[in-house]
Amino acid sequence: MLEGIRVIDFSQYLPGPHTTLRFSDLGAEVIKVESPLGDPARGSLDENGAGYVFLAQNRNKKSIVLNLKNPKDQEIALNLIAEADIVLESFRPGVMNRLGIGYENAVKVKKDIIYCSLTGYGQTGIMSHLGGHDLNYMSLSGMLSQFKDGNGRPVQPSKTIADVVGGISASESTLAELVK
């Protein structure tokens, strides 16, 4: 379904990679951009030393290592964007702009680029500067209060529901823009 669509993925750990996994599962070419340290999800090791979260969310993707603080690597990133249909990033608001590869620079190299910024608390507002995690989102939404043991005591969910739902929502919205 998405054969011929190229996605540049500047995300890490779970919500963003889950978004672009959905694209790759539908046939898009996804190029994952990682820092020299790699996606932190690589550190969630299984018994064989493989990052199970990383492997599960990044199958069928290509990968490139770029130090986005380096001007030469920023130029490489812009060249990738120039040949793409979709960019997805999951940094805090303003980070991509400081790196020179935010939306304004992306549309200079690719006028019709679809640019999805997946943040925890939006681009503006009193919480926008905060990093977010699944447990935070579930708590703020009230969903966390629904997880209790047999005695009514709260329990921490073992699944990252908000992260996965965030990825699904981001992929759905981005795909809607693609067919617009």
Taking a C-beta distance cutoff of 8 angstroms, is the pair 113, 84 a contact?
A: yes
The values of phi and psi at residue 34, to 5°, are: -120, 150
The three-point CA angle 171-174-175 to 5° equals: 85
Q: Does residue 45 contact residue 55 with C-beta atoms inside 8 Å?
A: no
Q: Give me the active site residues, please.
A: 163
The DSSP bridge partners found for residue 65 are 34
CA of residue 145 relative to chain centroid, distance: 26
